[in-house]
Amino acid sequence: MKGFVLKDLEKLTGINSATLRVWERRYGLMSPSRTSTNRRLYNDDDLKRIINISVLYRNGVKISRIARMSDSEITDKVAFLSRETSGPDTRIDSLIKATIRLDEPAVNEIMLHLVLNNGFEASFTEIVFPFLRKIGFLWQTGSLNTGIEHFISGIFRRKLFTAIDSISASSIPKKKKVVLYLPEDELHEIGMLFYLYLIRKLGHDTLYLGQTTPFNSVVEVSNAWQPDLIITSLRTAMPVKRIEDYLELLSTSLRKRKVLVAGLFADLLKEGQYTNVFAVRSEEDLKRYL
């Protein structure tokens, strides 16, 4: 862990930097070190503490009272609220803390309760994806190392594969054939696996080609299997020109197919730009095309 700056804490807790500085100065709730440029630098213990404090604060505990509580009292109170409160912010905070300490049993327990109470689909749309967005910027800036990214992504991948494998084949009217894949050099597949789960759950036939798929392989599979839909997504940053070129390639090489694009592809696709390539920005968009 390289450490967190004040802006990182603001992003993760939702409490603005000015308030955090007041809490630090007036109540001594954190004792950060300083960088060579005199910026505050917080470690993972500071992060877990301020997340606990933010949970209590959001649940109506005054900061002056929190300042008088010991670390064990704060932890016990947060544990009680986590059991009694099922709000998404509290669950996301619990996932962040479990992830930071690399606590797989805790992550699994949180996910078990989420699925039992909310169902698998809602657990991902309401908790997991907001959680991933919340800490995603830390991975991009290097505040959170890639080992932690692989740790938590691996857990979610396994849960998605288990859920996908548990879906029995079904016969529905107007069943569609759907190919899903990620372009070359794209490894972030949690969102695509979730789409695979949704499509299978709706009763459609799927072929999942996986991460970093060469484009010529997509064309070959499309020619052989004749799918109704092809779905792809891009999360890894690349120059805008390369994204535009790839969208053009999708349109021309797969002109007989309907292609759905997500992530950065969807962000740069203009409405009506192509007759066969369409943006998917949500679960509702996907279901509409199915």
- Pairwise CA distance, residues 219 & 127, whole Å: 35
**Per-residue pLDDT, 287:** 92
At 35, list the tokens: 């960088």
**Whole-number mean pLDDT of the chain?**
89
The pLDDT value given to residue 58: 83
Which residues are CB-contacts of 60 (< 8 A; sequence separation ≥ 6)?
none
**d(Cα 67, Cα 218) in Å, to the nearest integer?**
58
In this structure, what token pair is assigned to residue 143?
A: 């505040």
pLDDT < 50 regions, the chain:
1
Taking the CB of residue 115, how many other CB atoms lie within 10 A of it? Answer: 17
Residue 265 is predicted with a pLDDT of 95
Could you report the per-residue pLDDT of 194-247, keeping only the tens digit for each?
Answer: 999 999 999 999 999 999 999 999 999 999 999 999 999 999 888 889 999 999
C-alpha separations of 216 from 223, 236, 248 in Å = 11, 20, 14
CA 5 – CA 41 distance, rounded (Å): 5
Report yes or no: 47 and 17 within 8 Å, Cβ to Cβ. no
pLDDT attached to residue 249: 96
- Residue 229 · residue 250 · CB < 8 Å: no
What domains are there in the chain, each with its CATH number? Answer: 6-163 (no CATH), 170-289 (3.40.50.280)
CB under 8 Å to 160, separation ≥6 — which residues? 190, 193, 194, 196, 197
220-228 CB contacts, 8 Å cutoff, 24+ apart: 221/179, 222/179, 222/254, 222/257, 225/177, 225/179, 226/177, 227/176, 227/177, 227/178, 227/179, 227/257, 228/176, 228/177, 228/178, 228/257, 228/258
Q: Check the CA dihedral 221-226-231-237 and report its sign.
A: positive
pLDDT of residue 86: 60
pLDDT at site 84: 64
